[in-house]
Amino acid sequence: MFVKWRFTVAVLAVVSLVLIISPFISLFLLPAKFSNHAYRQLSDRVIVERQTKSFNSREEIILKLFEFTHSNLFLPKNSLPYDGKPLDFLIMGIGWCDYQAKVFNVLLSKKGIPSRYAMLMDNTRVSRHTISEVYFHNRWVVFDPIEYTFFKLPNGEYATLDDLSRNPQIIFKHPAFKNLEESEYQSRMAWYSTLFPIPMPPKRSNSFIEDISFFDRVLDLYYFFGGGNFANVYQDAYLKNKLPSFKEPDYKLFYAARNYSLYGRRNLAIDAHTKLINDFPGSKYRDDSLFFLSLLYADTDKNYRKSVSVLNKLLIEYSDSDWSDIATYMVEKYRYSKVK
């Protein structure tokens, strides 16, 4: 009887130990491909839950994730396409139209909302633009993350690609275009005219559906019960394992800062960006850190005065930075924001 009792206790102890450490198995015992997948899955979950925790309706969730995608991916001048997964795009903060559509689609899949991307072809069968189609109210409606636009019909319904193709005036009369200078308006409308009416059927992806393995479900379970505390511990363990694979010490700081930022770990993100800026004056990532540090002050703290100060530093020290045009625009934008 005593032997059975000891065996039972031993089994329970082993099971408990496995349950405690199981989320970290992928980090230390399995190939990097698996650990990267697990971290991406958790990161997507953390981002979505942080952004939508106060929203209940499907429409509110869609609009919030749409805003997040547009606000966290930029297209600085001289940007070149690069390989990566949606989380990589968010870490770099750089995304072309197809990258932004994929990020938006992946985030929606975490909330069980079907979506897909559609590559819009011109009459030579060349893809000119990529948008997202979200299944909402039994319709595949259009969301354009990089342009931060969606379109509505007179009855209030969100427009589909077919709606826009049948009546391009829906696009041309969009409120977002009313305040454009005449030359910019004409340029924008000329570009849209090459896409609508749709000359060729779009090239569409399959609907994005969350692909969850058993291990992903375990991670979700731990996040459900442990919340942000578990996510932060897991991120720390992942970065401790991941950062040594990068040879450049300044890139390690940039990579860590961007990951901390996506998890809402403001102080750690600011510290990492600041250390890069101060300790690596010749770093090729220094202007990147200045740019993203300014966003932390503006978007997280609403401290627009400090954000503008950092942006001006970027513009003075890196007048030819790829970020200069966007930084100039943001200085003007924050000038009219409530200063803290």
The string of pLDDT tens digits covering residues 239-290 is 999 999 999 999 999 999 999 999 999 999 999 999 999 999 999 999 999 9
CA distance 253 to 272: 5
Q: Is it the case that residue 27 has pLDDT exceeding 90?
A: no
Q: Is it the case that residue 18 has pLDDT exceeding 60?
A: no
Q: Is it the case that residue 30 has pLDDT exceeding 90?
A: no
The predicted model gives 156-168 an average pLDDT of 95
CA distance 275 to 252: 11
pLDDT of residue 15: 46
Q: Give me the residue spans of the domains in the chain.
A: 52-204, 247-335
Matching fold, domains 52-204 and 247-335: no
CA distance 282 to 148: 35
The string of pLDDT tens digits covering residues 123-140 is 888 888 999 999 999 999
CA distance 330 to 183: 22
Where residue 19 falls among pLDDT bands split at 50, 70, 90?
Answer: very low
Where residue 305 falls among pLDDT bands split at 50, 70, 90?
Answer: very high
Other Cβ atoms less than 10 A from the Cβ of 327: the count is 24
CA distance 118 to 313: 39
pLDDT of residue 224: 83
147 close to 127: Cβ distance less than 8 angstroms: no
239 close to 26: Cβ distance less than 8 angstroms: no
The predicted model gives 118-122 an average pLDDT of 92
Other Cβ atoms less than 10 A from the Cβ of 113: the count is 18
Q: Is the peptide bond before 199 cis (omega within 30 degrees of 0)?
A: no
User: The pTM is what?
Assistant: 0.89
Q: Name the least confident of 100-114, 207-221, 313-327.
A: 207-221
The predicted model gives 306-335 an average pLDDT of 94
Q: Is it the case that residue 22 has pLDDT exceeding 70?
A: no
DSSP tag of 247: S
Where residue 16 falls among pLDDT bands split at 50, 70, 90?
Answer: very low
Q: Is it the case that residue 323 has pLDDT exceeding 80?
A: yes
Q: Which ranges in 243-303 belong to alpha helices (H)? A: 249-262, 266-279, 286-295
pLDDT of residue 21: 52
The predicted model gives 215-237 an average pLDDT of 86
The mean of the pLDDT values for the chain is: 88
Q: Is CATH 2.60.40 what the domain over 52-204 is classified as, yes or no?
A: no
CA distance 29 to 176: 51
Q: Name the least confident of 54-58, 149-153, 210-214, 296-300.
A: 210-214
The predicted model gives 181-193 an average pLDDT of 87
Q: Name the least confident of 174-183, 191-200, 291-300, 330-339.
A: 330-339
Q: Name the least confident of 36-50, 69-83, 198-212, 215-229.
A: 215-229
Q: Which residues does 84 contact at the CB level (< 8 Å), separation at least 6?
A: 92
The predicted model gives 189-203 an average pLDDT of 89
Determine the straight-line distance between the first and last CA of the chain, rounded to whole angstroms: 70
Q: Which residue has the higher pLDDT, 173 or 44?
A: 44
Report the topology of domain 247-335: 1.25.40
Torsion angles phi and psi, residue 45, rounded to 5: -65, -45
pLDDT of residue 20: 47
